A and B are shown apart, each in its own frame.
Chain A
């Protein structure tokens, strides 16, 4: 297995083990989405209209959980030292941690999204659209989150800071993700263009976030 594969496999394994926090993200997502109908009231048409946005916001918030420990743990247990001493590029560590974190926490949430969509009275086509846009866009949320995690790796309680750093950067993905979902459901609105923009966000962040994260880890190590 390649170096990147090793890091991804280790990240997934740590995420799924006890204390890894992957399931916490899923449960948090369920809780956020389940609470909304209680707040909005039993207006099925309203729920169907805002349902995709609720699912997207739920994914955005859930993707923030668990980021805090992603690199802080590596720094505290010495893994970061050993990794740098091995001479391998830090970019690969950040990329591998990002992909692994998405597989352990993001993917289960994307899979759960259409099931929760039923609770929000989404039409079948909306269920498909919201799942597709989440699948395309949630990796970008995680990659942007890895930069925040790397920046706060040296801080004792970086979790809140990560949210403050990462949420503004995630807003464009949220806008285009919800826009694409609505485009698939309501006729005059476009689907392809915003969907491709979401895909572009994911691809660009997969390249840029590891570079930024590697620089941030260097600083955190000092």
Chain B
């Protein structure tokens, strides 16, 4: 069993009239939402509607061209946005020349630095997280031999290793098999249960039912 998350202090993401322009083309405008503790926001829409761009803005990887974005712990001053974030995108950030164990250890240490009140993930934590995602046998293999589904599972193992209140998941179910989806559903349930917030972009059904849905249409 992976170490149970402490409950997060109440965390809220608020977006007001966000707009995004990339390469001179408007991707979306006037996107507003508010997600609070324990809530899952599903972003739906056709390809090219800007689901991934919106997640990248939330992760601090892109600048919004308009609007206001606030990621705050209740009762605290506006927190530095990206430090509370886990981003799981199309690319998993694993070095293919390194083993899964080395990759997970590296990222858990990088992600620990910002919130040092959480314990460091040690060797046992890494083994437990990998076992949970069905990767225990693959810990010492280089990531280059992993299948797409295994890499996606490894990415999930990475975010379970360092507790952060906001999960940004970009097509989390892609490449996962039925059993992988079930594990993802459990992990998401636990995260929401601990007061975490999830924003997931998807065009498939999520393993956990969303509390809120944001439908993004392609601007005319």
| Residues in chain A within 8 A of chain B (CB atoms) | 1, 3, 6-7, 10, 13-14, 17-20, 73, 76-79, 81-88, 221-222
In the complex, the answer to whether B97 meets A20 with C-beta atoms within 8 Å is yes
**Are A13 and B80 CB-contacts (below 8 A) given A6-B106, A88-B114?**
no
| B60: Cβ under 8 A from any A Cβ | yes
**B residues within 8 Å of A by Cβ?**
56, 59-62, 80, 82-87, 89-98, 102, 106-107, 109-111, 113-114, 168
Shortest Cβ distance from residue B113 to the other chain A in the assembled complex, whole angstroms: 5
CA distance A85 to B110 in the complex (A): 11
Given contacts A86-B111, A87-B114, A221-B61, contact A81 B80 (CB under 8 A): no
**Cβ contact within 8 Å between B98 and A14:** yes
Bound complex: CA A87 to CA B86 (Å): 10
Closest to B58 in A: A85
B96 partner, pick from A3, A77, A84, A87, beta carbons under 8 A: A77
On whether the beta carbons of B61 and A86 are closer than 8 Å, the reply is no
A77 touches B87 (CB 8 A): no
Report the nearest B residue to A74, measured CB to CB: B93
Contacts A6-B106, A17-B97, A78-B92 aside, 16 further interface pairs with beta carbons under 8 A come to A3-B109, A6-B110, A76-B91, A77-B91, A77-B95, A78-B91, A78-B93, A81-B87, A81-B93, A83-B93, A83-B110, A85-B61, A86-B113, A87-B80, A87-B85, A87-B114
Which residue of chain B is the closest to A10 with respect to CB atoms? Answer: B106
- Are A6 and B97 touching (Cβ within 8 A)? no
A84 contacts B60, C-beta separation under 8 Å: yes
Contact A77/B97 with A6-B109, A221-B61 known, Cβ cut-off 8 Å? no
Residues of B within 8 A of A1 (CB): 109
**When the two chains form the complex, which single residue of A18, A76, A77, A86 contacts B110, counting CB atoms closer than 8 Å?**
A86
* A85–B91 CB distance below 8 A: no
Of the candidates A3, A19, A85, the one whose C-beta lies within 8 Å of that of B113 is A3
How far, in Å, is A92 (CB) from chain B's closest CB? 10
B87 CB contact (under 8 Å) in A18, A19, A82 = A82
Q: Are A13 and B98 in contact (CB under 8 A)?
A: yes
Q: Bound state CA distance, A3 and B120, in angstroms? A: 13
Measured CA separation A107–B49 after assembly (Å): 49
Q: Collect the chain B residues with CB atoms within 8 Å of residue A77's CB.
A: 91-96
With contacts A81-B87, A85-B60 taken as known, whether A14 is within 8 angstroms of B95 at the C-beta atoms is yes
Among B83, B89, B91, point to the contact of A87 (Cβ < 8 A).
B83
Question: What are 8 A-B contacts with C-beta separation under 8 Å?
Answer: A7-B110, A14-B95, A77-B91, A78-B91, A79-B95, A82-B107, A85-B87, A87-B84
Q: How far is the CA of A222 from the CA of B94 in the complex (A)?
A: 21
Closest CB-CB distance, A217 to chain B, in whole Å? Answer: 11
For the complex, give the distance between the alpha carbons of A77 and B154 in Å.
Answer: 14
**Cβ of B95: which chain A residues have Cβ within 8 Å of it?**
10, 14, 73, 77, 79
Docked Cα-Cα span, A76 to B95, in Å, equals 10
B97 adjacent to A18 (CB under 8 Å): yes
Determine how close the nearest CB of chain A comes to the CB of B140; give it in whole angstroms.
Answer: 14
Cα(A14)–Cα(B82), bound, Å: 27
Q: Which residues of A contact B85 (CB under 8 A)?
A: 85, 87
CA distance A76 to B80 in the complex (A): 26
